[in-house]
Amino acid sequence: MPPIVWFAARRVAHGLVTLWFALTITFLLLRLLPGDPATAIASTNMDAAARQELLTKYGLTEALPVQYVKYLSQVLQGDLGTSFSQSEPVTQVLMARLPWTLLLTGTALVVTVAIGIPLGVLAATHARGALDRAIQVGGVMGQSLFVPSIGIFFLFVLGLKLQWFPIGGASAEDTYGLAWYLGVLHHLVLPCASLVLVSLGSYVLTLRSTLIDALGEDFCTLARAKGTRERTVVWKHGLRNALLPATTLLGLQLGFLVGGAVLTETIFAYPGVGRAIYEAVIRLDFPVLQGAFVLLSATVVIANMLTDLVYGLLDPRVRNA
Amino acid sequence: MSAIALPGIEVDPVADQESAASATWYAFRRNPLGLIALGMLVLLTLIAVAAPLISPYPRGFSTDVLQAPSSAHFFGTDSLGRDVFAEVVWGTRISMTVGVSASALAIGIGVLVGMLGAYFRRVDAVLRLVVDLSLSLPVLPLMILVAAVAGPSLGTIIVVISFFSWPEVARVVRSQALSVVNLPYMDAARLVGGGHAWILRRHLLPAVAPVVTVSVVLTASRAVIAEAGLSFLGLGDPNSWSWGRVLYESQQAGSMTSAWWTTLFPSIAILLLVVAATLVALAYNDARNPRGRES
């Protein structure tokens, strides 16, 4: 088997194991926690007969291992239970919301990289200078921000006082075609900026330190000795090698970014999965909460898998590791 | 390092440890940013301890709703006429309690798992897989799910946060312990006939202690942020004031955008604590590193 196929197979297997782990941990936590495990599926406020029917349907009257197998097979078929508050399948409720969360976190990720790379390069090439210090302090501050705080600040200053941006929702009403798309972008700016601010710090700091290391390596010294311009040394020789750890970190940060999206969407009334989680918390709609975690985990796992696969194609060191 | 014992020269390991600690403290004192941050942490701790002396508990409602900051109410009042200054002061107590307890629990589990993984190579593969898997999942939605099912209380919040924070600690401790377990002094400890528990406690634990110190501070500050996040979504303890709850109440009352003081002050409190904790951890790391001391 060629190494690239072997690498892809290993990566996909790892993704599947992660998903299985997410499902199992949800299953175990909900059943081992104090309280009625059935509340995760059927509300105690329900009509007794309807509740019994649901409990039987989800096999909550059976032994744990049997329940586990049933649960896994139902999730695999895309069945995440029924929402209490909307009496609709959870999958349907959340799938309608998912595109907005993907748009929000995806854009935040792209913007983080687009701003993070120049900032990291700037800090690394001016290492120990005033500019580097400023970027480092900014990075630490950014990492310490509480997402809702920065969201509320943007909402108050840029949304309410200056009225540059809409204060909630994801799209303008009664607009079609190009105007609708522009409206979507306009609504995206503030929630996206809040997320970028909190994720940028650690990305820049990691990139900075790996790039400083890379620029001190022999291959960079050789490139300089050949008379290559410093700009080419930094961008072509150094950065290419420093991007790997930064990209790995970005993968780890995805989970964190999704958590940030829950808070951001809550503040900006953005109609994504995160806002659905907030609404489900208020209504104690456990199936939606469980489904949202499973769905977001799957998103993170798939995104991580794709990033790694692309990276494996680009960088032989990754696929042969 | 005092690993080589020459005849005639007595090396007292305890005295050496003390000098390492004082060298670290000496280097730390020369870092103004680190000192300011440490002072900030001490101040916040004092506020948390002395909360009853500083301000009465934000209990009763009053008719002075949504008053802007004044000399009567330093931070203004919220939508039910409660003093925001009192809420933030008492919030310091709860937020720091949650941060410290959750961090203590997470550190305990994380250090144990990390050391066991590095020391007993057979269980390492399993432990590493569990840590890697839990690190790659979106933690906040999982915490929300568990906190919602278990019901809101301070105990729930602490357990939930620590349960999902230990993998990060375990990862850091494990990688530090791995660089130590193969050193000759560990073999020597085994040769003298030391039991596993004794070696772990007396030889491995001191080696990972500096990493753990940094971890304590960082985990605690992350726990404060996690608590604020859960409370902000309404999963906090409804009977105790934390910074996250102040923000939550403001959002619920719709005063988030009309009364800036109800959100600005708790936000600043969170930022101050987390920045101070991060800077102390960074300064300690720099001070501990002998290479950084010369410059």
- A101-110, B65-74, B165-174, range with the lowest pLDDT: B65-74
| Per-residue model confidence (pLDDT) at position A38 | 59
Greater confidence (B5 vs B194) lies with: B194
| Per-residue model confidence (pLDDT) at position A45 | 65
CB A206 within 8 A of CB A246: yes
| Residues whose CB is less than 8 angstroms from the CB of residue B87 and which lie 6 or more positions away in sequence, other chains included | B58, B75, B78, B241, B246, B266
| A:102-161 residues touching chain B, CB 8 A cutoff | 140-141, 143-149, 152-153, 155-156, 159-160
Q: How far is CA B226 from CA A29, B46, B159, B229, in A?
A: 19, 22, 12, 5
| Per-residue model confidence (pLDDT) at position B100 | 93
| Per-residue model confidence (pLDDT) at position B5 | 45
Closest by Cβ to A281, choosing from B134, B144, B221: B144
In chain B, the residue whose alpha carbon lies closest to the alpha carbon of A21 is: B133
Residue B83, helix vs strand vs coil? strand
Greater confidence (B193 vs B291) lies with: B193
- Domains of chain B in start order, with CATH, are 20-59+79-294 (1.10.3720.10)
Domain hosting residue A298, numbered range? 3-319
- pLDDT above 90 for B175: no
CB A81 within 8 A of CB A90: yes
| Per-residue model confidence (pLDDT) at position B237 | 86
CB spacing of A263 vs B234 below 8 angstroms: no
| Total residue count of chain B as it appears in this document | 295
CB spacing of B135 vs A252 below 8 angstroms: yes
CB B125 within 8 A of CB B205: no
| Per-residue model confidence (pLDDT) at position B86 | 86
State mean pLDDT over B233-262: 85
Tell me: the pLDDT tens digits for A82-98? 787 777 888 888 998 99
Split into its structural domains, chain A has a count of 1
Taking contacts as CB-CB distances below 8 angstroms, the residues of chain B near A260 are: 140
Tell me: the pLDDT tens digits for A145-188? 888 888 888 888 888 888 888 877 777 777 777 888 888 888 89
Tell me: the pLDDT tens digits for A182-218? 888 888 989 999 999 988 988 898 899 889 888 888 8
Tell me: the pLDDT tens digits for B111-128? 999 999 888 888 888 888
CA distance A174 to A176: 7
- pLDDT above 90 for B109: yes
State mean pLDDT over B79-106: 89
| Per-residue model confidence (pLDDT) at position A39 | 59
- pLDDT above 50 for B4: no
Percent above pLDDT 90 for chain B: 23
| Per-residue model confidence (pLDDT) at position A40 | 55
In chain B, the residue whose alpha carbon lies closest to the alpha carbon of A154 is: B257
| Per-residue model confidence (pLDDT) at position B290 | 65
Q: How far is CA A13 from CA A305, B162, B186, in A?
A: 10, 29, 37
**CATH number of the domain encompassing residue A119:** 1.10.3720.10
Q: How confident is the model at residue B17 (pLDDT cuts 50, 70, 90)?
A: low
Q: Which structure tokens are listed for A98?
A: 């998912």
CA distance B246 to A187: 27
- pLDDT above 50 for B294: no
Most confident range (mean pLDDT) of A12-16, A243-247, B17-21, B250-254 is A12-16
Q: Which structure tokens are listed for A127?
A: 């290492």
Average pLDDT, chain A: 84
How close A228 comes to chain B (CA, Å)?
Answer: 31
- pLDDT above 70 for A41: no
* Residue type, position A303, single letter: A
Most confident range (mean pLDDT) of A252-256, B8-12, B144-148 is B144-148
pTM, two decimal places: 0.85
Q: Does residue A286 sit at the B interface (CB-CB below 8 Å)?
A: yes
Tell me: the pLDDT tens digits for A260-286? 999 999 988 889 999 999 988 888 888
Q: How confident is the model at residue A114 (pLDDT cuts 50, 70, 90)?
A: very high
| Phi and psi torsions of A112, nearest 5° | -55, -45
- pLDDT above 80 for B63: no
What ipTM was estimated for this complex? 0.84
| Per-residue model confidence (pLDDT) at position B291 | 59
Q: Which structure tokens are listed for A4?
A: 């690239």
- Is the CA virtual torsion A109, A115, A117, A120 positive or negative? negative
State mean pLDDT over B196-207: 85
Taking contacts as CB-CB distances below 8 angstroms, the residues of chain A near B221 are: 144
- Is the CA virtual torsion B189, B190, B196, B200 positive or negative? positive
